[in-house]
Amino acid sequence: MLNERPQVTGSGFRPGAGRRKVAGGVALVVLLLLAAAVGSMTGLMLVYSVNLPQIDDLTRYRPDTITNLYDTHGRVFGSFALERRVVVNYNDLSPLLREAVVSIEDKNFESHWGINFFRVMGAAYHDLTSKNRAQGASTLTMQLARNLFLSSERTFGRKLQEILLSIQIERRFTKQQIFALYANQIYLGHGVYGFEAGSEYYFSKHARDLTLPEAALLAGLPKGPSEYSPILNPDKAFRRRNMVINAMLEDGKITAAQANVARSAPLGLHIEPPANSVAPWFIEEVRRELERKLGTDQVHEDGLKVYTTLDLDLQQKANQAVLDGLTAYERRHEWRGHLLNVISGGVDMEGFRHPDWTVPPETGTYIHALVTGVLPYQVTARVGNQQLVLTTEDWAWTGFKTADGFLKEGDIIYVHLAQSDGKVLRGTLEEDSGTQGSLMAMDNVTGDVLAMVGGRDFNMSQFNRATQAERQTGSSFKPYVYTAAIEEGATPDQKILDAPTSFGGYTPHNYEGNYLGNITLLKAFADSRNIPALKLADHVGIRKVIEVAHQFGITSNIPAFLPVALGAVEVTLQQQVAAYSAFPNDGIRIAPRLIRRVARADGSPLLEESPEVTEATSAKTARTMMVLLREVTRSGTAAAAAALNHSIGGKTGTTSDFTDAWFVGFSPSITCGVWVGYDNRTSLGDKETGARAALPIWMDFMRTAIAGKDSEVFPGDQKTSAIRLARLH
């Protein structure tokens, strides 16, 4: 019976066949699951790749770059940018910088194909499950893809798109091209993008010239531009820099000796001065004009080259002349105090930051400081993170023997910096009572605006008092009165009676309070006598005077009443300067211009500005007026200007109660105007005339403007009208 085979049941069951059937079923299920997974992955890749940008677009990619402003000598003095970036090539980056970036950000950059699979999966899991900051495990290529094309949202879909883009980028570009794109795109804090702009901002040098410590500091910034900012968090920046140095040492990029020296080096920052700090009001005027003509996007994104009319040397002199002149005015009126105090205002002393402190303190500049300590014979203060020390000689002009008699902790003081030894600042105490000054200078022949100052401190007030402030002109309006009279046949030698008179119910007086009797028009104009000016205006008609003013480019709405002849009309300094330039220009008015031409980033022309030329008056009238205007600076109200020993002319202006002080004058080549006053129209004080408050500023500036031009003469002195004909055409 042992040999009997098992009986086959009716079902036909065989144990071996059953096992094969189960195994086949399992295999089928596995295949179905794999197919589903592959299908799902393919579907996901299809879904998330549909909206991916075309990588070919990257070959034409040009990031937003800086629009630079150039002065008449080709020097950059300002810029516009939404993202401050300077695009460079791979070889323009220091090898030390390239190695530092690879060591800290992506050690396998040269060998991977766009992604490091294990690091990416770990980073993706961390990003999706952690509430902490995203883990920095992406390759340089993935960071480039994210920065160029994707949002910063932390989702699986975005991470998958990042991977797909990175693979495509690696297939399309070389490693050097990828690194250059990354190096120009990455954000480094404080509005700076790319390593070249970062190097210029933090160290005032090109990226190709970076030292090892400098390169390591920049390489450490992409992980957290704010967290590791050497300005905001120098301790963290120091530790992060040394971490980069250690990574380079581990990778064999540097020797142990190099690492030791670099780790002990200070941060060595040499912060680039804030953009547009030399001629801020001029630059703002240029920006408005460019945006009006070209549009905001093109101005701020396309890296244009704007060739302006500014002369940087004259601008710097204008800045200093205005501030020095206002300082002289303040000292004439002794110490008035009324200082703001941060403690009284409930502001934390440690956290206080004055707007002035955006500009690094330099010798010769005026800056506000926060008083941190007061002793009888010494004051300590803070300017940004630097200490300032004042001693008794630094405030002697105030009349106070000891500092505790007029200063206290928390006061905001105004200081003229004298020197810095790198740690402690020294200077003299000055006063900022709120007086403002403006200056504008232009080339008579071209209309080019060479310098413009719109106030005391752009950081405190961006209002441009050279172009936007309409102020009463005082006697600086009288040239239009005399021009109208000369057009009607008057001459400098003609006599006029300077005596008490009335015009209906209007009884004017001379500023001096006296009367000179029968005098020539030359004398009346040079001494700025009011009665003769009113008589001339009454004779030719005030409407004729207004018509002449408009011919000279004054656009203000001028009411037709007689006191207008004495300057009871509000005009901008810009209009006054442009109008006065017609006198030495043989009656030809050249409208002020700020921009000569604009080129695209590749240098091709985009915009060219031609000066606007009109005839304000005849050459004969202009030359007659020059006799009067030159006499003002020889024997009249501006006789002090004769000390310049140059061919000059001009006119002072002072308004009622000394609220506005003017001087507008010219040499054969340059016309310059200066205004001094308070924004709230407070009186400048007794006897603060145009000759006293404004003329010294004008003279200070003009000494530089006329330097080296000893032989220049006015057209009338040349006995020719050739210049007039040239300017007309």
User: In whole angstroms, what separates CA 202 from the centre of its chain?
Assistant: 18
Asked if residue 334 lies in contact with residue 399, where contact means CB atoms within 8 angstroms, the answer is: yes
Instruction: Determine the Cα–Cα distance for residues 527 and 638; give it in Å rounded to an integer.
Output: 9
Asked if residue 219 lies in contact with residue 104, where contact means CB atoms within 8 angstroms, the answer is: yes
At position 352, the amino acid (one-letter code) is: F
Largest CA distance in the chain: 164
- 462 CB-near residues (< 8 Å, 6+ apart): 280, 281, 284
What separation in angstroms does the CA of 595 have from each of 286, 602, 609? 7, 19, 6
Residues belonging to the active site: 105, 475
Q: Is 162 helix (H, G, I), strand (E, B) or coil?
A: helix
Instruction: Determine the Cα–Cα distance for residues 103 and 99; give it in Å rounded to an integer.
Output: 6
DSSP 576-625: HHHHHTTTTTTTEEE--BSEEEEE-TTS-EEEE-PPPEEE-S-HHHHHHH
Instruction: Determine the Cα–Cα distance for residues 368 and 356; give it in Å rounded to an integer.
Output: 6
- Tokens for 152, please give them: 């910063």
What separation in angstroms does the CA of 35 have from each of 22, 47, 121, 308? 20, 18, 22, 67
- Tokens for 679, please give them: 């924004």
- Tokens for 33, please give them: 């699951």
Asked if residue 305 lies in contact with residue 599, where contact means CB atoms within 8 angstroms, the answer is: yes
Instruction: Determine the Cα–Cα distance for residues 526 and 627; give it in Å rounded to an integer.
Output: 10
- Select from 709, 728, 721, 722 the least CA-distant residue to 667: 709
Partners of residue 650 on adjacent β-strands? 665
- Select from 438, 72, 435 the least CA-distant residue to 281: 438
Instruction: Determine the Cα–Cα distance for residues 470 and 476; give it in Å rounded to an integer.
Output: 14
* Stated length of the chain: 729
What separation in angstroms does the CA of 280 have from each of 9, 80, 201, 319, 682? 104, 12, 19, 11, 26
Instruction: Determine the Cα–Cα distance for residues 440 and 449; give it in Å rounded to an integer.
Output: 7
User: In whole angstroms, what separates CA 230 from the centre of its chain?
Assistant: 23
Helix (H) and strand (E) counts in the chain: 21, 23
Asked if residue 664 lies in contact with residue 632, where contact means CB atoms within 8 angstroms, the answer is: no
Tokens 């393919």 sit on residue: 42
